[in-house]
Structure 1
C-alpha cells in the first residue's frame, strides 16, 4: 500500500506534464508533418496529425530553388567559429574579472554589462558603416566578429566570471606553490574545472549564432553566402507568396538538428547554469 500512493502521484505528474507539453511540441510536430503534405492539405481543418500520403517533393525542391547545402554549411561553420571564439574570449575575460584585482575593475565590468542593455538594432547602422569602409560587407566576417565581441560574449563573460568566483581559492594557491604562473593556473586548473559553465556558454552561443537573422540580411546579398534564417525567407513563388510546404521542409531541416543537440546536451546546460551561481 505504501508504494501505490507514490506511483499514482508519479503517474499523475507525468500526465500533467504531457498535457502541458502539447502547446510546445505540437508546433514542431505540425511543421515536420506539414512538410510531407501537399499545399492543399497543410491548412485543412481540423489539422491532420499525420499526412495521408507522405511525399518528399518539398525536400527536393528546397535544394533546387536555393543553394541550400552551401547555406547550411555557412550557418554551421559560422556558428562553430563564433562558439569557439566566444568560449576563448569569455573564459579569459571572466577569469580576469574574477581573480585579477586592478583599479576600476568593478566599474569596467559594469560598463561591459551595460552593453547588454543596448539593442542590436541601435548599433547595426554604425556597424554596417564600419564594415563597409573595411570592405567586409557581403562577407561572413561581420557575422563572426560582432557576436564574439558583442552582447553574446558579454553574457558569456558574466557566466564565466560567476563560475570562477565560486571556485575555491585554495586550488590556485596550491598551484602557485607548485610554481605555476597566472596563465598556467588558468589553463591547467581553472579552465578544466569550468566545463559545466563552458558547456552552457557553448550551447546558447551556438543557438544564438545559428538563429541570427538581422545581421545576415544587413551584411549579406549573395545567395551562396546566405545563412539559414535568411535563406528561409527566399522560398516564394512567382507572385511573392510563400511556398508553404517548401518553407516548412527547409525549416524542419534547420530546426531539428539544433533541437537534437539541445535535447542531448540539456543536462550539461542546466548543470552549467546551476554552477554559475550569483555569488560576488
Structure 2
C-alpha cells in the first residue's frame, strides 16, 4: 500500500515538474525550430511545434553575412581567459580575506563588496576614456580586464571567501606542523578542497562573459572584433529590419553550447553554491 502511494506521489510530482518546465523549455524549442522555418511560418498562429518545411539556408547565411566563425572564436577565447583570470584572482583574494588576519580586514572587504552595488552603466564612460587614452579601444583587452578586475570577480571573491571560512582550522595547523608556508598551504591544501566552489565560479563567470553585451558595443567597432551578443544585432536587411530566421539560427548556435555546458555541469554548480553557504 505504501509503495503504491509513493509511486503515485512521484508520478504526480514528476507531472507537475514537467508542466512547470514548459515555460522555460518552449522559448528555446521555438527558437531552434523557427530557425529551420521560412520567415512566413515563424509567426504562424497557432505556433508550429515542428517545421513542416525544414530549411537550413538560414544557417548558411549566418556565415555569409558576418564573419561569424571569427566572432564565435572571439567570444570563446575571451570567456576562457576571463574565467581563468577570475578563478586566479578570486581564489587568492578569497583565501586572504578568509585566513589572513590584518588590520582593517573587514573594512576592506566591505569596500570590495561595495563594487557590487555600482551598476556597470555608471562606470562605462570613465572606463572608455581610460582605455581610449591607452589606445585599447576596438581591442579585446577591455572585455578581458574589466570582468577580471570588476564586479564578477568581486562576487567570485565573496563565494571563495565563504568556502575557505568553512574549512576547519585544523587543516592549516597540520600543514604548519609539516613545514608548509602560507602559499604552499593554499596551493596544496585549501585549493584542492575548493573544487566545488571553483566549479560554481567558473560556470557563472563563463556565462557572464559569454553573454556580455554593454561593453562590446561600447569598446568594439570592427565586425571582425565583435563578440556573439553584438554580432546577433547585425543580421538585418537593407531596410534595417530583422532577418528573423537568420537571427534565430545565429542565436541557436550561440545558446545551445552554453545550455549544454550548464546541463552537464549543473550538479557541480549547485554543489559549489551549497558548499559556500553563508557562514562567517
Q: What is the RMSD computed on CA atoms of the aligned residues?
A: 0.3
Given the two structures, how large is their TM-score scaled by the length of structure 2? Answer: 1.00
Q: What's the secondary structure of 1:89's corresponding residue?
A: helix
Query: Structure 2: which 5+ residue stretches go unaligned?
Result: none
Determine the C-alpha separation between the residues in 1 that align with 2:246 and 2:176.
60
* Residues 28-71 of structure 1 deviation map (CA, whole Å, 9 limit, x = unaligned): 00000000000000000000000001110000000000000000
Aligned partner of 2:205 in structure 1 is: 205
Find the aligned partners of 2:75 and 2:186 in 1 and give their Cα distance: 31
Instruction: For 2:21 and 2:198, locate their aligned partners in 1 and report how far apart those are by CA, in whole Å.
Output: 29
Whole-Å separation in 2 of the counterparts to 1:149 and 1:16: 43
Deviation (angstroms), 1:277:
1.0
Map of 2:73 onto structure 1: 73
* TM-score w.r.t. length of structure 1: 1.00
Q: Separation in 2 of the partners of 1:141 and 1:269?
A: 28
Cα distance between partner residues in 1 of 2:247 and 2:279: 45
Instruction: Give 1:268 shift.
Output: 0.2
Q: Could you list the runs of 5+ residues in structure 1 that have no partner in the other structure?
A: none
Q: What is the CA-CA distance between 1:193 and the residue it aligns to?
A: 0.1
Q: Distance in 2 between matches of 1:57 and 1:6?
A: 50
- How far the C-alpha of 1:171 sits from its partner, in A, is 0.5
Q: How many residues align?
A: 280
CA deviation vs aligned residue, 1:222-257 (integer Å, no higher than 9, x gap): 000000000000000000000000000000000000
Deviation at 1:196, TM superposition (A): 0.1
Distance 2:95 2:139 in 1: 32
- Corresponding residue number in structure 2 for 1:50: 50
Q: Please name the residue that 2:179 is paired with.
A: 179
**Superposition pairs for residues 136-151 of structure 1, below 5 Å?**
136-151=136-151
The CA distance in 1 between the partners of 2:233 and 2:273, in whole Å, is 34
Structure 2 residue matching 1:279: 3-state secondary structure: coil
Return the alpha-carbon distance in structure 2 between the equivalents of residues 279 and 37 of structure 1.
Answer: 51
Secondary structure of the 2:2 match is coil
1:164 and 2:164 equivalent? yes
Cα distance in 2 for residues equivalent to 1:18 and 1:106? 46
CA distance in 2, matches of 1:190, 1:74: 33
Q: Which runs of 4+ in 1 moved over 2 A?
A: none
